[in-house]
Amino acid sequence: MTNHDFPSIPGHPHMFLSLGELLGRVEEPDPGWTDLPARPGVYLILWPLSLPLLFRAEAGTDGSVLAQRWREITRRTPTDILYIGMADSLKNRLRQLARFGRGRAATHQGGRALWWVAGIEQADVLVQGCPDGRQAGFENEALERFHKAHGHFPLANRQGPRGTARWWPED
39-74 pLDDT tens trace: 999 999 999 999 999 999 999 999 999 999 999 999
Of 79, 77, 111, which Cα lies nearest the Cα of 97? 111
Q: Comparing 7-21, 25-39, 42-56, which segment has the lowest mean pLDDT?
A: 25-39
Residue 104 confidence (pLDDT):
79
What confidence tier does 131 reach under pLDDT thresholds 50, 70, 90?
very high
How many C-beta neighbours within 10 Å does residue 70 have?
Answer: 22
Mean pLDDT score of the chain: 92
Of 129, 136, 133, which Cα lies nearest the Cα of 166? 136
The domain segmentation of the chain, as residue ranges, is 8-150
How many C-beta neighbours within 10 Å does residue 164 have?
Answer: 8
Query: Which residue type does 40 have?
Result: P
Is the pLDDT score of 31 beyond 80? no
Quote the percentage of the chain above a pLDDT of 70. 95
87-126 pLDDT tens trace: 999 999 999 899 888 887 766 666 789 999 999 999 999 9
Would you say 155 and 47 are in contact if contact means Cβ atoms under 8 Å apart?
Answer: no
Residue 103 confidence (pLDDT):
81
Of 127, 118, 109, 100, which Cα lies nearest the Cα of 45? 127
What confidence tier does 170 reach under pLDDT thresholds 50, 70, 90?
confident
DSSP assignment of 9-78, as one string?
A: -TTS-EEEEEHHHHHHHHHSSS---TTS--S-EEEEEE--TTS---B-GGGHHHHHHHHHHHHHHHHSS-
